[in-house]
Amino acid sequence: MSNYQPKYATITMVEINHLMTRNAPKNALPILLVMNAYCMDGHSCFPSIRTIGRLLNNTLSVRSIQKAIKWLVENLVIERNSRTSKKRFINLLRKMVYGIEGENSERFGRSETNDLDSIREGSKENISTPLSVSPQGEKANRTSKSLDVKIKNRLNSAKRRVQRYTNILNNRESADGGCKRTDEIRASITCWIACSQFGQPNFDGSQKELEDIRKLYHSDKSVQSMVDEHPIIRGQIVC
Protein backbone atom coordinates (compact mmCIF):
# COMPACT_ATOMS: atom_id res chain seq x y z
CA MET A 1 0.00 0.00 0.00
CA SER A 2 3.06 2.24 0.25
CA ASN A 3 2.94 3.05 -3.48
CA TYR A 4 -0.84 3.40 -3.60
CA GLN A 5 -2.48 6.76 -2.97
CA PRO A 6 -6.29 6.92 -3.12
CA LYS A 7 -7.91 9.83 -4.94
CA TYR A 8 -11.24 9.87 -3.13
CA ALA A 9 -13.06 8.52 -0.06
CA THR A 10 -16.63 7.43 0.68
CA ILE A 11 -18.61 7.45 3.92
CA THR A 12 -22.00 5.97 4.86
CA MET A 13 -24.82 7.76 6.64
CA VAL A 14 -24.44 5.30 9.52
CA GLU A 15 -20.88 6.55 10.07
CA ILE A 16 -21.94 10.20 9.82
CA ASN A 17 -24.81 9.80 12.29
CA HIS A 18 -22.59 7.86 14.69
CA LEU A 19 -19.96 10.62 14.70
CA MET A 20 -22.57 13.37 15.08
CA THR A 21 -24.44 11.77 17.98
CA ARG A 22 -21.18 11.22 19.88
CA ASN A 23 -19.81 14.72 19.26
CA ALA A 24 -16.72 13.49 17.50
CA PRO A 25 -13.59 15.69 17.71
CA LYS A 26 -12.79 17.64 14.55
CA ASN A 27 -9.86 15.40 13.56
CA ALA A 28 -11.87 12.17 13.75
CA LEU A 29 -13.74 12.69 10.46
CA PRO A 30 -10.75 13.41 8.16
CA ILE A 31 -8.80 10.50 9.63
CA LEU A 32 -11.79 8.17 9.22
CA LEU A 33 -12.14 9.33 5.62
CA VAL A 34 -8.47 8.54 4.95
CA MET A 35 -9.01 5.03 6.32
CA ASN A 36 -12.15 4.65 4.19
CA ALA A 37 -10.17 5.77 1.15
CA TYR A 38 -7.76 2.90 1.70
CA CYS A 39 -10.63 0.52 2.51
CA MET A 40 -12.20 1.27 -0.89
CA ASP A 41 -15.45 -0.76 -0.93
CA GLY A 42 -14.40 -2.94 2.01
CA HIS A 43 -13.93 -2.27 5.69
CA SER A 44 -10.26 -2.93 6.53
CA CYS A 45 -6.96 -1.27 5.65
CA PHE A 46 -3.42 -0.93 6.95
CA PRO A 47 -1.97 2.56 6.35
CA SER A 48 0.72 3.70 8.77
CA ILE A 49 0.31 6.78 10.96
CA ARG A 50 2.78 8.65 8.74
CA THR A 51 0.87 7.59 5.60
CA ILE A 52 -2.34 8.98 7.08
CA GLY A 53 -0.52 12.22 7.85
CA ARG A 54 0.89 12.49 4.31
CA LEU A 55 -2.53 12.01 2.75
CA LEU A 56 -3.71 14.95 4.88
CA ASN A 57 -0.82 17.07 3.59
CA ASN A 58 0.95 16.76 6.96
CA THR A 59 -1.51 19.18 8.55
CA LEU A 60 -1.82 17.00 11.67
CA SER A 61 0.90 15.90 14.05
CA VAL A 62 1.48 12.23 14.84
CA ARG A 63 0.13 12.84 18.34
CA SER A 64 -3.07 14.41 16.99
CA ILE A 65 -3.62 11.45 14.65
CA GLN A 66 -3.04 8.94 17.43
CA LYS A 67 -5.42 10.83 19.72
CA ALA A 68 -8.17 10.81 17.07
CA ILE A 69 -7.63 7.10 16.38
CA LYS A 70 -7.92 6.40 20.11
CA TRP A 71 -11.29 8.21 20.14
CA LEU A 72 -12.49 6.21 17.14
CA VAL A 73 -11.56 2.96 18.90
CA GLU A 74 -13.16 3.93 22.22
CA ASN A 75 -16.39 4.96 20.48
CA LEU A 76 -16.75 1.71 18.52
CA VAL A 77 -16.10 3.26 15.13
CA ILE A 78 -12.98 1.23 14.33
CA GLU A 79 -11.05 -1.72 15.70
CA ARG A 80 -7.28 -1.45 15.86
CA ASN A 81 -4.95 -4.42 15.43
CA SER A 82 -1.16 -4.73 15.38
CA ARG A 83 0.80 -2.45 13.06
CA THR A 84 2.03 -5.45 11.02
CA SER A 85 -1.48 -6.76 10.35
CA LYS A 86 -3.01 -6.29 6.91
CA LYS A 87 -6.22 -5.55 8.81
CA ARG A 88 -4.61 -2.98 11.07
CA PHE A 89 -7.75 -0.84 11.07
CA ILE A 90 -11.26 -2.32 10.75
CA ASN A 91 -14.17 0.08 10.30
CA LEU A 92 -16.85 -1.59 12.44
CA LEU A 93 -19.70 0.59 11.17
CA ARG A 94 -18.71 0.04 7.56
CA LYS A 95 -18.44 -3.68 8.27
CA MET A 96 -21.96 -3.65 9.66
CA VAL A 97 -23.32 -1.85 6.58
CA TYR A 98 -21.38 -3.81 3.95
CA GLY A 99 -21.34 -7.15 5.74
CA ILE A 100 -18.50 -9.66 5.93
CA GLU A 101 -19.06 -10.43 2.25
CA GLY A 102 -17.80 -6.92 1.50
CA GLU A 103 -14.28 -7.59 2.80
CA ASN A 104 -11.85 -6.97 0.00
CA SER A 105 -8.67 -8.18 -1.55
CA GLU A 106 -5.54 -7.27 0.38
CA ARG A 107 -4.88 -4.04 -1.51
CA PHE A 108 -8.06 -2.82 -3.10
CA GLY A 109 -10.63 -4.81 -1.14
CA ARG A 110 -12.63 -6.07 -4.07
CA SER A 111 -14.96 -8.78 -2.88
CA GLU A 112 -14.90 -12.11 -4.68
CA THR A 113 -18.30 -13.02 -3.34
CA ASN A 114 -20.61 -10.25 -2.26
CA ASP A 115 -24.27 -9.33 -2.37
CA LEU A 116 -24.06 -8.26 -6.02
CA ASP A 117 -22.51 -11.62 -6.94
CA SER A 118 -25.30 -13.50 -5.21
CA ILE A 119 -27.86 -11.33 -6.97
CA ARG A 120 -26.20 -12.03 -10.33
CA GLU A 121 -26.15 -15.77 -9.61
CA GLY A 122 -29.80 -15.70 -8.64
CA SER A 123 -30.62 -13.83 -11.84
CA LYS A 124 -28.66 -16.35 -13.93
CA GLU A 125 -30.52 -19.25 -12.35
CA ASN A 126 -33.84 -17.63 -13.15
CA ILE A 127 -32.76 -16.91 -16.73
CA SER A 128 -31.51 -20.46 -17.30
CA THR A 129 -34.94 -21.97 -16.51
CA PRO A 130 -37.01 -22.16 -19.72
CA LEU A 131 -40.65 -21.12 -19.52
CA SER A 132 -43.39 -22.19 -21.88
CA VAL A 133 -44.84 -18.73 -22.31
CA SER A 134 -44.66 -15.94 -24.83
CA PRO A 135 -41.40 -13.92 -25.05
CA GLN A 136 -43.04 -10.91 -23.35
CA GLY A 137 -44.42 -13.06 -20.55
CA GLU A 138 -41.06 -14.77 -20.09
CA LYS A 139 -39.29 -11.41 -19.80
CA ALA A 140 -41.80 -10.08 -17.24
CA ASN A 141 -41.58 -13.27 -15.18
CA ARG A 142 -37.78 -13.18 -15.25
CA THR A 143 -37.72 -9.53 -14.15
CA SER A 144 -40.13 -10.22 -11.29
CA LYS A 145 -38.07 -13.15 -10.01
CA SER A 146 -34.87 -11.13 -10.26
CA LEU A 147 -36.38 -8.33 -8.17
CA ASP A 148 -37.58 -10.84 -5.57
CA VAL A 149 -34.07 -12.27 -5.30
CA LYS A 150 -32.53 -8.80 -4.91
CA ILE A 151 -34.98 -7.74 -2.20
CA LYS A 152 -34.62 -11.02 -0.31
CA ASN A 153 -30.83 -10.88 -0.43
CA ARG A 154 -30.76 -7.26 0.76
CA LEU A 155 -33.05 -7.98 3.72
CA ASN A 156 -31.09 -11.08 4.72
CA SER A 157 -27.81 -9.18 4.42
CA ALA A 158 -29.15 -6.35 6.57
CA LYS A 159 -30.18 -8.82 9.28
CA ARG A 160 -26.78 -10.50 9.23
CA ARG A 161 -24.99 -7.14 9.44
CA VAL A 162 -27.06 -6.03 12.43
CA GLN A 163 -26.35 -9.33 14.18
CA ARG A 164 -22.61 -9.11 13.47
CA TYR A 165 -22.38 -5.57 14.82
CA THR A 166 -24.38 -6.56 17.90
CA ASN A 167 -22.01 -9.48 18.48
CA ILE A 168 -19.01 -7.17 18.16
CA LEU A 169 -20.45 -4.81 20.75
CA ASN A 170 -21.39 -7.64 23.12
CA ASN A 171 -17.86 -9.03 23.02
CA ARG A 172 -16.17 -5.72 23.89
CA GLU A 173 -15.10 -5.30 27.51
CA SER A 174 -16.14 -2.27 29.52
CA ALA A 175 -15.17 -1.19 33.02
CA ASP A 176 -18.56 0.38 33.63
CA GLY A 177 -21.52 -1.99 33.19
CA GLY A 178 -24.02 0.89 32.93
CA CYS A 179 -22.02 2.61 30.20
CA LYS A 180 -21.66 -0.67 28.35
CA ARG A 181 -25.43 -1.23 28.40
CA THR A 182 -26.05 2.33 27.21
CA ASP A 183 -23.58 1.81 24.35
CA GLU A 184 -25.33 -1.44 23.44
CA ILE A 185 -28.71 0.32 23.31
CA ARG A 186 -27.23 3.13 21.18
CA ALA A 187 -25.73 0.53 18.87
CA SER A 188 -29.10 -1.22 18.59
CA ILE A 189 -30.72 2.06 17.58
CA THR A 190 -27.99 2.75 15.01
CA CYS A 191 -28.37 -0.75 13.60
CA TRP A 192 -32.16 -0.35 13.53
CA ILE A 193 -31.77 2.85 11.51
CA ALA A 194 -29.33 1.16 9.14
CA CYS A 195 -31.70 -1.79 8.75
CA SER A 196 -34.55 0.58 7.89
CA GLN A 197 -32.44 1.94 5.03
CA PHE A 198 -32.45 -1.57 3.60
CA GLY A 199 -36.25 -1.71 3.65
CA GLN A 200 -36.84 -3.25 7.09
CA PRO A 201 -38.00 -0.47 9.44
CA ASN A 202 -39.90 -2.69 11.92
CA PHE A 203 -38.13 -3.54 15.18
CA ASP A 204 -37.52 -7.29 15.41
CA GLY A 205 -35.90 -7.44 18.86
CA SER A 206 -37.43 -8.42 22.19
CA GLN A 207 -39.97 -6.34 24.11
CA LYS A 208 -37.37 -5.73 26.84
CA GLU A 209 -34.91 -4.31 24.30
CA LEU A 210 -37.62 -1.99 22.98
CA GLU A 211 -38.39 -0.82 26.53
CA ASP A 212 -34.69 -0.07 27.10
CA ILE A 213 -34.62 1.95 23.88
CA ARG A 214 -37.68 3.91 25.01
CA LYS A 215 -36.06 4.74 28.37
CA LEU A 216 -32.87 5.95 26.69
CA TYR A 217 -34.90 7.94 24.14
CA HIS A 218 -36.69 9.86 26.89
CA SER A 219 -33.51 10.46 28.93
CA ASP A 220 -30.92 11.26 26.24
CA LYS A 221 -31.39 14.30 23.99
CA SER A 222 -28.78 13.09 21.46
CA VAL A 223 -30.71 9.84 21.03
CA GLN A 224 -33.95 11.81 20.66
CA SER A 225 -32.37 13.94 17.95
CA MET A 226 -31.11 10.87 16.08
CA VAL A 227 -34.43 8.98 16.29
CA ASP A 228 -36.60 12.00 15.43
CA GLU A 229 -35.00 12.10 11.99
CA HIS A 230 -36.71 8.76 11.26
CA PRO A 231 -40.49 9.13 11.81
CA ILE A 232 -41.29 5.43 11.27
CA ILE A 233 -38.82 4.35 13.95
CA ARG A 234 -39.90 7.17 16.29
CA GLY A 235 -43.49 6.07 15.94
CA GLN A 236 -42.62 2.60 17.22
CA ILE A 237 -40.69 3.99 20.18
CA VAL A 238 -43.11 6.63 21.46
CA CYS A 239 -46.35 4.78 20.71
Q: What digits encode the pLDDT tens for the residues 155-189?
A: 766 666 666 666 665 555 444 556 777 878 888 88
What does the pLDDT read at residue 169? Answer: 58
* pLDDT tens, position by position, 25-67: 999 999 999 999 999 878 899 999 999 999 999 999 999 999 9
pLDDT of residue 183: 78
Residues paired with residue 80 on neighbouring β-strands, in sequence order = 89
Q: Which amino acid is at 144?
A: S
User: pTM for this structure?
Assistant: 0.45
Where do the domains of the chain lie, and which CATH numbers do they carry?
13-102 (1.10.10), 115-238 (no CATH)
pLDDT value of position 108: 36
Read off the pLDDT band of 153 (50, 70, 90).
Answer: confident
pLDDT value at residue 177: 55
Let me know: does 36 contact 10? Beta carbons within 8 Å: yes
Exposed / middle / buried, residue 30 (Cβ in 10 Å: 0-12, 13-18, 19+): middle
Q: Looking at residue 74, what is its pLDDT?
A: 93
